[in-house]
Amino acid sequence: MIEQLEYNTERQRLIIPEYGRHIQKMINEAVATEDAEERNQQAKAIIGVMGNLQPHLRDVPDFQHKLWDQLFIMSDFKLDVDSPFPKPSRELLQERPDRLDYPQNFPKYRFYGNNIKRMIDVANSWDDGDMKEALEYAIANHMKKCYLNWNKDTVEDEVIFKHLYKLSGGKIDLASNDEDLSDASNLMKQRKKFSNNKNQQRNNKNRNNRKRY
């Protein structure tokens, strides 16, 4: 009869749970080892085991550096061994990350997306010429397609030109040109064709999965 069961809730909290409790015990034993040479050998052996547990990350840059950082973190920064990389500090780990700047967009034109604004900024940075003009019309046609996706089945080119003028800070004005944008029906056909191709790929994938099982 088993009288004393050890539950996970009663055990020591795992600092990095994905490595499991055995790795944590190995690290705790290395921390308690008094001989420096033996402690260094244990640390290298633990690093090898940790690397084998994550073979999919071997091609990631600084993979070994990350393993050594995690080793010190899991030892609660108590492990005293020779590391090939600078040792992390508790203070650095506890620092709050810098605040991320969320992408801003015009509230009235959110249906265009933030990538359109980035493309417009790139166009504004180019020198005048055929390449810049071609990019401006490519942006305008993409804006027209976005407008049709989220608003109506038709839209006048003047509306797109006006929005582009405002989003570019008045630097791109296509309203004065004689060239028209792509026809709305053609843009909608392209969207429908893309949607059909995507659905076909999904159906083929589901069909192959059914055959496999």
Check: pTM over 0.75? Answer yes or no: no
Amino acid (one-letter) located at 76: D
Quote the crossing angle between the two packed helices 36-53 and 20-32, to the nearest 10°: 170
Amino acid (one-letter) located at 178: D
* C-beta neighbour count of 167 within 10 angstroms: 21
Per-residue pLDDT of the chain (213 residues; tens, 9 = 90+): 556 777 777 777 888 999 999 999 999 999 999 999 999 999 999 999 999 988 887 778 889 999 999 999 999 999 999 999 999 988 888 888 888 777 666 667 888 888 898 899 999 999 999 999 999 999 999 999 888 887 667 788 999 999 999 999 999 999 888 888 888 777 666 555 545 555 555 555 555 555 444
Which SS3 state, helix, strand or coil, does residue 156 take?
coil
Specify whether the CB–CB gap between 73 and 57 falls below 8 A. no
Nearest-angstrom CA–CA distance, 18 and 23: 10
